[in-house]
Amino acid sequence: MPKGVTPGPRQFTMMAPGGQFSSVANPVTPWNHQTVAGPGLGYFYTTQLDLRGLIVDDQSRGIAITNINLQEAGPWDIIGETGYFIIYDLLTTVNPTAHTLEEIFNTVAIPGQVPGFLAPFSIANQPSTEQTLNPSQVTWGMWRLIGNNPTFRLGGSDAAATVASSGLFGEGEIAVSPTLYWTRLIISDADGTGVNGASANLVVNGEVVELSTSREVSQMMRAGQR
């Protein structure tokens, strides 16, 4: 193995800016405004982790993920006394299309099509040409449903935003793709709901491991859905 690409632990940090997400601030730069099926507004931001530095010779290798830590610079806030929003964080081997993100969440009463999961029976099957992601393509994911808590006042009429429910998902398979994509998706319950969001870092800890050629090719096929 050439110098500088020896096996062992590595740490990678991706960064995403916070912002004000509302119809007044639309569009939010550098976030993208996202059309959603539900009644609210949607925004997404994608950054990427370049792993091509591991591919410098004929040696097969990958990153065995050991830990992923989402860090946020401060609290989330919903402007006013009512409302809620949902935020999805996705670390994937492919860059999700805008339509894929649009299908993730409609409202809390209608299940969405989340990457790495089967389509719920209330959603019609997507055409074969539409992008879908298998579980191997979702390295890590987290969702949080956040709403205003009127019993927790921050002063005046502003109520604190608290997590109502949340969940983790993702396979955490050895990464052999040249790029991992971190996408943050925010969808509000109504056009009039404004959200103030914090900047965030996604810290990925892993270990460079040597792979057989067949194992590397197999992982590439799973990550690329071949």
C-alpha to C-alpha distance for 181 and 91, rounded to whole angstroms: 5
Distances (CA, A) of 135 to 46, 157, 225: 19, 43, 10
Please check whether residue 3 lies inside any domain of the structure: no
Please check whether residue 38 lies inside any domain of the structure: yes
pTM, two decimals, is 0.87
pLDDT score, position 199: 96
Higher-pLDDT residue of 21, 36: 21
What range defines the domain where residue 59 resides?
8-224
Q: Report, as an integer, the average pLDDT of 81-110.
A: 89
Q: Strand, coil or helix: what is 188?
A: strand
Reading the block at residue 83, the tokens are 């409302």
Q: What would the pLDDT profile of 172-205 be if each residue is shown by its tens digit?
A: 888 887 899 999 999 998 888 888 889 999 999 9
Q: What would the pLDDT profile of 120-150 be if each residue is shown by its tens digit?
A: 876 555 555 567 788 989 999 999 999 988 7
- Looking at residue 110, the DSSP 8-state letter turns out to be B
Please check whether residue 148 lies inside any domain of the structure: yes
Please check whether residue 1 lies inside any domain of the structure: no
C-alpha to C-alpha distance for 183 and 153, rounded to whole angstroms: 31
Please check whether residue 87 lies inside any domain of the structure: yes
Q: Which residues of 142-163 are buried (b: 16+ CB within 10 A; e: fewer)?
A: bbbbbbbeeeeeeeeeebebee
Secondary-structure percent of the chain, ordered helix, strand, coil, rounded to 5? 10, 45, 45
Provide the percentage of residues in the chain whose pLDDT is more than 70. 79
pLDDT score, position 186: 93
CA 167, 78, 139: angle at the middle one, nearest 5?
25
pLDDT score, position 2: 47
Please check whether residue 124 lies inside any domain of the structure: yes
Q: What is the mean pLDDT of the chain?
A: 83
Please check whether residue 133 lies inside any domain of the structure: yes
Please check whether residue 78 lies inside any domain of the structure: yes
Q: What would the pLDDT profile of 215-224 be if each residue is shown by its tens digit?
A: 666 676 666 6
pLDDT score, position 48: 94
* Structural domain count of the chain: 1
